[in-house]
Amino acid sequence: MNTTDRQRLFIQDVAVRDGFQIEPRFVPTEQKIALIDRLGRCGLAKIEVTSFSSPKAIPMLADAEVVMRGIARIEGVEYAALVPNLRGCERALACNVDEINLVMSASESHNRANLGMSCEDSLRQFAKILPLAHGATAINASLSTAFGCPFEGSVPAGRVMDLIARLTDMGIARVSLCDTTGMANPAQVEDIFGSVLRMWPTLQVTAHFHNTRGMGLANAVAALNAGVRHFDASLGGLGGCPFAPGATGNVCTEDLVHMFDSMGWNTGVDLTELLEVAAALPIIVGHDVPGQVLKAGPWTRRHALPPTQGSPAMSPSNVCAGVRA
């Protein structure tokens, strides 16, 4: 990584975890492994491979160990896994993950719905996990519902700041703020990330947006403007927490990379390669996916002029009529 490159962004794909956890149909283990291996060759900074949650809570990721041990680790890519509790940490460490992504919510009700415990209990779990994981792996903490909760509504920014203070006091150096059900707006995003980075300038902060209300890319630009350089996104725009009513997909990785590329940022990602991987996704999951650039092509795509342009038979009104027909 070239740390002097101020235009460098870090794109972290979460499709095989956040995406597959909510899929109605189990994606076979070997297909998960093959997909991760293809993603690993696209230049992504990090891939969230799976979660070491209870298989009763997340049956789609019950094959976490097999997937984690089956993938080819490509140098320069971090392979992370979500961990909700101490048992999950032990399982993740046994598989040599590069990063444990601890998860808890900023709102009490979503924490209970998702993890069956209070926020304080989650923090107590983290305190037990840290001595185990320290030195063995990097540790990130994800705060779900950081911009709003589907049960409680607004989540005060002060609450998010207090939780980050608790996490950093424990020695955690990486934090993701997650908009679990797409409730964030760009003004709020710029405000919160701005405050966080002013308060903790060396904290590695990740923006994790869901596009549930169509604000995902706008929120990503707002986070960028606030100084965020690490972004979660999901191939094809899959994703969603099964314990958050109304949850839908993450910001789509190829759409995000395309946007940042066209703005002149270095994402490190090979968009052409990524689009090829994305093209296989509808077959893997068995349905269309929300990503837009795959359908429209990158902005550099050019179409041939209609060969008979200008002739009366193909006047614009006739062409439109043809399209309508």
Q: Which residues are catalytic?
A: 241
Of the residues 144, 188, 219, 267, which one makes contact with ligand COA according to CB under 6 A: 144
By the rule CB under 6 A, 145 interacts with ligand COA: no
* 9 or 27: CB nearest ligand COA: 27
| Touching ligand COA, residues 177-216 (CB under 6 A) | none
Q: Which one of residues 85, 111, 137, 253 is an interface residue with ligand COA (CB under 6 A)? A: 85
Asked whether the beta carbons of 104 and 139 are under 8 A apart, the reply is: no
**Which tokens hold the place of 281?**
């996704």
Of 55-63, 72-80, 128-136, 224-232, the segment contacting ligand COA by CB under 6 A is 55-63
- Examine residue 103 and tell whether it contacts ligand COA (CB under 6 A): yes
> Which option in Zn ion, ligand COA, none does residue 49 bind, with CB closer than 5 to 8 A by kind?
none
Q: Does 114 bind ligand COA (CB under 6 A)?
A: yes
CA distances from 82 to 56, 87, 89 (A): 15, 12, 9
Residue 15 as a binder of ligand COA (CB under 6 A): the answer is: no
> How far is Cα 183 from Cα 146, in angstroms, rounded to an integer?
9
β-bridge pairing 99-105 and 230-233: unpaired
Residues 200, 206, 211, 217, CA torsion sign: positive
CA distance 159 to 251: 25
Q: Determine contact, residues 288/31, Cβ cutoff 8 Å.
A: no
Q: How many CB atoms within 10 Å of residue 311? A: 10
115 interacts with ligand COA by CB under 6 A: yes
Q: What is the DSSP string of 102-115?
A: EEEESSHHHHHHHH
- For residue 46, report the phi and psi dihedrals to the nearest 5 degrees: -150, 150
> What end-to-end distance do the CA atoms of the chain give, in Å?
53
The Cα angle at residue 257 between residues 255 and 261, in degrees rounded to 5? 120
Tell me: does residue 241 bind ligand COA (CB under 6 A): yes
Tell me the C-alpha distance between 98 and 73, whole Å: 10
Nearer to ligand COA, 181 or 253 (CB): 181
Q: Which of 28, 59, 76, 116 binds ligand COA (CB under 6 A)?
A: 116
Question: Least distance in Å: CB of 148 to ligand COA?
Answer: 15
In this chain, which of 88, 216, 237, 249 binds ligand COA, going by CB under 6 A? 88
Q: How far is the CB of 64 from Zn ion (least distance, A)?
A: 17
Contact with ligand COA (CB under 6 A) among 53, 107, 176, 267: 53
Asked if 149 is part of the footprint of ligand COA (rule: CB under 6 A), the reply reads no
Binding site for ligand COA (CB under 6 A): 21, 51-54, 56-58, 82, 84-85, 87-88, 91, 103, 114-116, 144, 241, 243
